[in-house]
Amino acid sequence: MRPPTDAAPLLDLAGVTVRFGGVHALTEADFTIRPDSVTALIGPNGAGKTTVLNAITGLVPVAAGSIVLDGHDITRLPPHRRAAAGVVRTFQNLEVFTSLSVLENVMTGRHILTRYGALASLLHTPAFRRAERDCRERALEKLEFVGLADVRDTPAGDLPYGRQRLLELARALAAEPKLLLLDEPAAGLNTRETAALGQCIRAIRDRLHVAVGLVEHDMDLVMGVSDYVTVLNFGHPLASGTPEAVQADPEVVRAYLGEEN
């Protein structure tokens, strides 16, 4: 269910410009994500989609414009402070700790929220043990959410590729994000796995009330899970709106989705 269109945005990019040397990867780009929504960012390779995610998470500097999260300007914050503020992402390439168990992988995502120091960890103080117990319990909840609780003790590297993608989602969710950014999560998945991923993304929005920013080339997935879609054209937003409106936009049809015969 789409949030009201007059709802205050959770994330608001206004006039964001990113340059790499003399190349403009983004030029005065606007991009908004509302609470309790799935907002997709689409466009061809080189359109600047991943650059938007990198700008939001602080992995590339912004030359101009602003990035506001939940009413707070995060444009100049370092990546770790943005993560602490509730911005969590996954990457195009699969990045799991293959030698750790499935549960241990998810617990690593939770550790950003722990409050004990190195000495407490070394001495295994009561505070450390309580924090680790809580970390394990919350990690198990996220594994249950994505359907991986039955393989919690399995080495992550032994999981099929599609289930490793779900493991990445569970690990990201363990950090309790306000905003979850997914960079091509369906890459390499078959039709059945993509359908399961779509169900999981909807559940993240509907059950966990976490806003999702989705960069994806699979148009069936995008149009099936998104409340809003923004189309990028070589670093410039070309169109924004509901999936129905974007699909009907002549410029989008001509440039990205193909014209009907």
Q: What is the pLDDT of residues 21-79, one digit of tens each?
A: 888 889 999 999 999 999 999 987 778 899 999 999 999 999 999 999 999 999 999 99
212 within 8 A of 201, measured Cβ to Cβ: yes
Is the pLDDT at 222 greater than 80, yes or no?
Answer: yes
Per-residue model confidence (pLDDT) at position 119: 52
Of the candidates 54, 9, 13, 59, which has an alpha carbon nearest to the alpha carbon of residue 34? 9
Every domain range in the chain assigned CATH 3.40.50.300: 1-86+177-261
- How many Cα atoms within 13 Å fall on the side-chain side of residue 181? 24
Q: How confident is the model at residue 258 (pLDDT cuts 50, 70, 90)?
A: low
CA dihedral in degrees (115, 169, 39, 215; nearest 10)? 120
Q: What is the mean pLDDT of residues 5-9?
A: 76
Distance CA 123, CA 24 (A): 51
Specify the pairing of strand 11-20 against strand 64-69.
antiparallel
For residue 111, with 0-12 CB atoms within 10 Å meaning exposed, 13-18 middle and 19 or more buried, which class applies?
Answer: middle
Q: What is the mean pLDDT of residues 187-204?
A: 95
What's domain 1-86+177-261's superfamily in CATH?
A: P-loop containing nucleotide triphosphate hydrolases (3.40.50.300)
Residues 87-137: tens digit of each pLDDT: 999 988 888 999 999 999 999 988 665 665 555 556 666 666 677 788 899
Distance CA 6, CA 180 (A): 21
